[in-house]
Chains A and B, each alone.
Chain A
Amino acid sequence: SQQGEEDPQALSIQEGENATMNCSYKTSINNLQWYRQNSGRGLVHLILIRSNEREKHSGRLRVTLDTSKKSSSLLITASRAADTASYFCATDSPFRNQAGTALIFGKGTTLSVSS
């Protein structure tokens, strides 16, 4: 049951440029999270934004949420080669009986930053 869909599927940029990834989802949510995955490794949490928030920052990361459009974006500013990874959005599932813990992941955006 896919909820979030990231766009684009793949993104290639040069070091120093900004990278923007988008996530669209289908049903209403309570919160949305972004995770990073380095090749073949476990996912690492980046940022969580609640449905009543519109924007959130963490270091070089900026996340926006537009609940009217059912979409979120992740902006990485001044990208570095170390930012090369796959990025996933994950939404909670209010329809699952998991007391707010269930996450549904999108298929991810693969970001490649070249030096």
Chain B
Amino acid sequence: EAQVTQNPRYLITVTGKKLTVTCSQNMNHEYMSWYRQDPGLGLRQIYYSMNVEVTDKGDVPEGYKVSRKEKRNFPLILESPSPNQTSLYFCASQIAGGPYEQYFGPGTRLTVT
């Protein structure tokens, strides 16, 4: 089954404790992206990757890092989480070029206290 998986699905952590949210897709997609969703603000892109070792900033990259060492994986790293990073996070993938549909993961609900 074609899918995008994320782990963990729920995470409660404390300010400053480094964390990683994993994302994996089994569709051999070149393009992957991270979004955060906040009430009243919709989905905003954090980072994206056009292919292995190619990443770039989206609209709200501050406080986040990403890496793309393998085509299927695109982890999101919060080196020093802060309460304003409490949000619902989605990973998505797509065939490169376009226009094509994006496939979304189930989401990771992060709470930073």
> Do chains A and B stick together as partners?
yes
Q: Which A residues lie at the B interface, using CB under 8 A?
A: 1-2, 30-31, 33, 40-45, 48, 50, 88, 90, 92, 97-108
Q: Which of B33, B42, B100 contacts A2 (CB 8 A)?
A: B42
Rank and list the top 7 A-B pairs by shortest CB-CB distance, nearest first. Answer: A100-B98, A42-B104, A45-B101, A107-B42, A31-B99, A105-B43, A43-B104
**Which of B11-19, B68-76, B78-86, B105-113 lies at the interface?**
B105-113
Q: Which residues of A contact B56 (CB under 8 A)?
A: 97-98
A-B contact pairs, 27 of them (CB 8 A): A31-B98, A33-B99, A40-B88, A40-B107, A40-B109, A41-B107, A42-B104, A43-B43, A43-B102, A45-B102, A45-B103, A50-B99, A88-B42, A90-B102, A98-B48, A99-B96, A99-B97, A99-B98, A100-B98, A101-B48, A101-B50, A101-B96, A101-B98, A102-B45, A105-B42, A105-B43, A107-B40
Q: Which residues of B contact A92 (CB under 8 A)?
A: 98-99
Closest to A98 in B: B48
Closest to A30 in B: B99
Q: CA A108 – CA B43 in complex, angstroms?
A: 9
A100 and B40 in contact (CB under 8 A), knowing A1-B59, A41-B106, A42-B107? no
What is the distance, in angstroms, from A37's C-beta to the closest C-beta of chain B?
8
Give the number of chain B interface residues (Cβ < 8 Å). Answer: 30
A108 and B101 in contact (CB under 8 A), knowing A40-B107, A99-B96? no
Q: Which residues of B contact A97 (CB under 8 A)?
A: 56
Q: Which B residues lie at the A interface, using CB under 8 A?
A: 4, 31, 33, 35, 40-43, 45, 48, 50, 56, 59, 88, 90, 92, 94, 96-107, 109
Q: Which residues of A contact B92 (CB under 8 A)?
A: 43
Q: Which residues of B contact A44 (CB under 8 A)?
A: 104
Q: CA A33 – CA B41 in complex, angstroms?
A: 18
What is the distance, in angstroms, from B84's C-beta to the closest C-beta of chain A?
19
Q: CA A106 – CA B44 in complex, angstroms?
A: 9
A108 and B42 in contact (CB under 8 A), knowing A41-B106, A92-B99? yes
Q: CA A31 – CA B94 in complex, angstroms?
A: 15
Q: Which residues of A contact B42 (CB under 8 A)?
A: 2, 88, 105-108
